[in-house]
Structure 1
Amino acid sequence: MTWTLPEPMLAASVPAPALLPGWAAEPKWDGWRALVSVEAGRVVLRSRRGANLVASFPEIKSGSRQLPDATALDGELIVWESGRLAFERLQGRLQRRGAGAAHLAAEWPAHFVAYDLLRLAGTNTTAWPYRQRRAALEDLFTEHKLTTPWALCPSTTEADTVNEWLSWTAVGLEGIVFKRLDGRYEPSVRGWRKYKVRETQEAIVGAVTGPLTAPRSLLLGRYDTSGQLQYTGRTTTLPHAAGHALAGLLAPATSEHPWTGWTFSAGWGSRETLDVTLVEPDLVGEVGVDVARDSVGRWRHPVRWHRPRTDLSPADIPHTAT
C-alpha cells in the first residue's frame, strides 16, 4: 500500500517570542509550506492546501534522488534574490510546467528548508517526540550528505539564539516557530506556536473601500523620490468605531489623483479587484506591519490600522525607492 502524506501540523499565534522550558525554536521562513514524499521513484511535493507542486519545481524532483526511499519531510520552499527571500518568485512558479518550469528553476532555483521528519526509510516518525525527530533529521542530512536543493532548518533551545534570529528581518525572516521537545507530529492540530515580527510605520491614505462615512479598509501609499504616490498596501477590515472616526478626516478626491485609472487587487497574487473610492492623499496613519514584502517593497499582507497621525503631513513620511 502506498503511504499517504499526512495533513501538516499547524501553529497558533502568540504575542511574544518567549522560549519556554521544554520547547525548541526554529526560524519562520517567508516561503511556501510544503511536504515532500519519495517512494519507489514517485515524488510528491504537496502544498498546505493539497496541491501537487512537483511539476512546477523540477529541481526538487531531481534533488529527491538524494533522499532514501520511503522518506517524507515537512518544510518550506524558499527562493533567494539579492540576499533576501523573494516570495514573489515562488508565486510565479505555480502555473509553469515543462520547459517554462525548467527555465524558472534555472533562473530562480528553489530550496526546500526541511524542519520536520515524517517518515524515514519506511518508518512513520510522526509519533516520535520532536527531539527524536529532530535528531533523526540531522542524521539524515549528515549521513546522506544532502546538498542543494535541500537545506536543514536551524533549531535551538537557547534564548540568545532566538533573539539573534529576530534581527534577521532584513533578509525576510518572518519570526519564530516554537515546538515542544516531547511533542509528537499531530496533523491539522495547532500544537506549535508562532511569533511574527511586527513593526509600526506610517503611510498616507490614498483610497478606501466602502463608504467615506464608514470606510471598511484603507489603501495606503508613500511618495517615491520622483514625487509619485506609490501604492504600498492596504489595511485589514477596520473596526466600526475606527471607520466612523475616520469619516471626518477623509475627503473625496477633487482634482487629478495620482491613482486615477489604477486598479487594486483584493489580495497579493489575487486577480479579484477592489471597488475603491479615491480620497485626497492628506491623511497620515500609523499601521502595524509584518516583514513580508514584494520586490518593490510593498506590504504583501494586509496591515493593522492603529490610529490617524494628524500631527504629521505626507511630507514627513519616508520616501520609497523609485
Structure 2
Amino acid sequence: MTLRPPVEPMLAQAAESVPTVVRDLAFEQKFDGHRALLFTPAEEGGRVQLQTRRGSLIQDRFPDLVAAAEQLPDRLVLDGELVVWDAEAGQLSFEGLQRRAAAGSRTAPGLAASLPAYFVAFDVLMADGVTLLTLPYRERRRRLEVLFAARALTAPWTLCPMTTDVAKAREWLESWTDVSGVEGLVVKGMNQRYLPGFRGWSKIQYR
C-alpha cells in the first residue's frame, strides 16, 4: 500500500516525569516546531508534498525543503518536526516558523532565504514504496538511521537525537536551557507499531 496524504500522525499524551520502570523505551528530544509529514514522489512526474498534523498541504510555503528533497529517494514518507533558524538571532525561532507557515507563494522564497527551514526526522513510515507502519519502532529507527548514513544527509535534514539510556534522557531534561528550541522528551516503546491518530507515545515538557 502506498501512503498518500492525508495521513494521521501518531500522537503523544502528556506525562509528568521520566518513567521509573524503564524497559525497551526510547527517548527522543522534542523540538518546539510544527509537526509535519514529508512525502517524496510516488510516481514519475509526482511532486514533493509536505503535510501538517491536521492534513493540510503546505509545500508551497517551504520551497527550500522541496528543493532539498532531491537528496531523498522517491516513494519515501518521513514523520518529523519543522523548525526554522533565525540567523540574526542565532537560534531556532518559533515566531519565524509561524511566519513561514503563513507565507503566500510570492513571499515564501524570500522568507526561505532569511528564515531557512529544517526538517527534524524522527520516523520513517514508507521506504521504497513499502509501508512500514506495522514494524516496531526499533526497526523503523534503524532504517531511518541507515537512510541518513547511506545518503549522507545534511541540512536541512536532521536526524532527531534519540537515546535508550535513561540517565542520558534525564540529563537532557535537566539541561534544556542549553539547547535552543528543545522543549522536552518524547518517550516511545521500542516494540511499538506506528498507529495513525493514536496517542501511544508520552511527552514530558521541560519545566
TM-score computed with the length of structure 1 as normaliser: 0.59
- Structure 1 residues 101 and 177: CA distance shift in structure 2, 3 A: same
- Structure having the higher Rg: 1
2:82 counterpart of 1:77: yes
The amino acid of 1:53's aligned partner reads I
Cα separation, 2, equivalents of 1:137 and 1:27: 16
Cα separation, 2, equivalents of 1:15 and 1:193: 9
Match of 2:38 among 36, 39, 53: 36
Show the counterpart of 2:102.
Answer: 95
Give the superposition deviation at 1:149.
1.2
Contact 2:3 2:77 in 1 (8 A): no
Show the counterpart of 1:67.
Answer: 72
TM-score computed with the length of structure 2 as normaliser: 0.90
Q: CA RMSD in A?
A: 1.5
SS of alignment partner, residue 133 of structure 1: helix
Cα separation, 2, equivalents of 1:3 and 1:74: 12
Show the counterpart of 1:141.
Answer: 148
Show the counterpart of 2:25.
Answer: 23
2:190 counterpart of 1:185: no
Structure 2: where are the runs of 5+ without partners?
Answer: none
SS of alignment partner, residue 40 of structure 2: strand
Higher relative contact order (CA 8 A, sep 6+): 2
Contact 2:176 2:206 in 1 (8 A): no
Give the superposition deviation at 1:164.
2.7
Matches within 5 A, 1:202-217: none
Matches within 5 A, 1:305-316: none
SS of alignment partner, residue 28 of structure 2: strand
SS of alignment partner, residue 93 of structure 1: helix
The amino acid of 2:52's aligned partner reads S
Matches within 5 A, 1:204-283: none
Show the counterpart of 2:11.
Answer: 10
Match of 2:137 among 130, 143, 148: 130
The amino acid of 1:13's aligned partner reads A
Give the superposition deviation at 1:64.
1.1
Give the superposition deviation at 1:2.
5.9
Cα separation, 2, equivalents of 1:189 and 1:162: 24
SS of alignment partner, residue 131 of structure 1: helix
Question: Which aligned runs of 4 or more in structure 1 are off by greater than 2 angstroms?
Answer: 80-85
